[in-house]
Amino acid sequence: MITDRRSFLRNSAILTAGSALLPTWTTASAATAVATRTLTPALALTTDEQAVLAWVASYADSYRLQGGCILGHLRGSPNKFTQIVAHMADPAKFASLLAAKSPLSSALVNGDSYSFQYGQTLFTLQNSSTSLPTVANTDWKHQALQYDPKTHILTDPLGDTGASAQINYTIQLIAKTRTVPQNFQALVTGLVESTLYKLTQDAPFNTFRNSVLNSKPAKAGDATAVNRIFLQNLALLAQVFPANSLAPILKSPLLTASLATQFTLSTAQLVARFSVLRTKVNRSYSDETIWLALLIPNQISPQSGDLTNALGLPANGGFNAILSLDALADMRQLLNDPAFATA
């Protein structure tokens, strides 16, 4: 059973607050000036981060911390999820470093994106040989933040942290037209990242959350997309909302309607079955493992689109892919456990 990553997540107190796919990247240079501030004192990086950044510095001429992990440091979040972007000055040198022992030895690789665990931290690393990657399309303003560990400069292209000396830690949605699945993806990312990085969920956030969960898919394709997003993010959602606290989301009009198109169990049945199983099966099985064990085998037509395929690369990525594949491996073990069969 895979317990190393799960245990450090528990120990880092992710559950006390009770994303996510990465945003779209670009390597185009910014056309306009953006807000910056020098952080004094500098971010207190962990030993894991210092080691990985030192390795990145050996091949990159510029690199940054990216997104909400910056605010998480400032807020004192105990959760250890770090995003890094880097410009490869010499791609050949990077390739030679990969051939040797490196932090990326067991990474999940999707193009120039690497997802891996080092020490007690989960990392994503986005490389580019053109220029330093920046966020091109995102739902939340904090995702565009970048921090230079060498100069201690925080770059804030979307004005997330505010104009005053006091940094704003409220999670802020970018206003734009979205489809039902896109709204759900934005909500999931907001729920997960506000918890990971101790960002404040204000009244507008709660209004957005209620609006999304009370909506319904207008067509079958929307329902399929919502289901895929839910499965891909389930490993993190189940830790943000442990045990039965995930039930209100599952039983929302959006997921009730969407899951019914691809699964034989209703959301009410899923919640009831989970409540029973959680008390019966070994506590070493995580909540996300039990949820997957209830969902994956009960697809209506898995042969025409098994949602298991959505959990790993290339469909899924970042922290979600690492944790989802762990939970999927444990799910297969749980399905053969007599306690699961008799519960």
Using CB atoms within 10 A of its CB, is residue 224 exposed (0-12), middle (13-18) or buried (19+)?
Answer: middle
Q: Whole-angstrom Cα distance, residue 117 to residue 2?
A: 13
Q: Which amino acid is at 71?
A: L
pLDDT at 34: 67
Q: Provide CB contacts within 8 A for 288, sequence distance 6+.
A: 234, 235, 237, 238, 239, 323, 327
Three-state DSSP state, 214: coil
Of 203, 215, 303, give the one whose Cα is nearest residue 262: 303
Strands (E) located in 203-256: none
Q: What is the pLDDT of residues 21-73, one digit of tens each?
A: 445 545 444 444 568 999 999 999 999 999 999 999 999 999 999 999 999 99
pTM of the model: 0.89
Q: What is the arithmetic mean of pLDDT over 265-278? A: 96
Domains (range + CATH), the chain: 4-156 (3.30.460), 216-342 (no CATH)
- DSSP-derived letter for residue 245 is G
Q: Check residues 190 and 80 and name the one with the higher pLDDT.
A: 190
Q: What is the arithmetic mean of pLDDT over 156-183? A: 95
Instruction: Indicate the average pLDDT of the chain.
Output: 89
Q: What is the arithmetic mean of pLDDT over 205-226? A: 96
Give the CA dihedral 77, 79, 83, 84, nearest 10 degrees: 80
Q: What is the arithmetic mean of pLDDT over 94-109? A: 90
Assess contact for 281 and 337: CB atoms under 8 A. yes
Pick from 90-94, 102-106, 160-164, 288-292 the range whose average pLDDT is largest.
288-292
Q: What is the pLDDT of residues 13-22, one digit of tens each?
A: 443 333 344 4
Q: What is the arithmetic mean of pLDDT over 147-171? A: 95
Of 185, 172, 186, 144, give the one whose Cα is nearest residue 26: 144
Of 157, 300, 119, give the one whose Cα is nearest residue 227: 300
Q: Which of 60-74, 102-116, 176-190, 298-312 has the lowest mean pLDDT?
A: 298-312
Residue 97: pLDDT band with limits 50, 70, 90: very high
Of 83, 71, 32, give the one whose Cα is nearest residue 162: 71
Strands (E) located in the chain: 24-26, 35-38, 60-66, 81-88, 108-110, 113-118, 121-128, 134-137, 146-147, 153-156
Q: Check residues 33 and 126 and name the one with the higher pLDDT.
A: 126
pLDDT at 89: 85
Q: Whole-angstrom Cα distance, residue 62 to residue 59?
A: 9
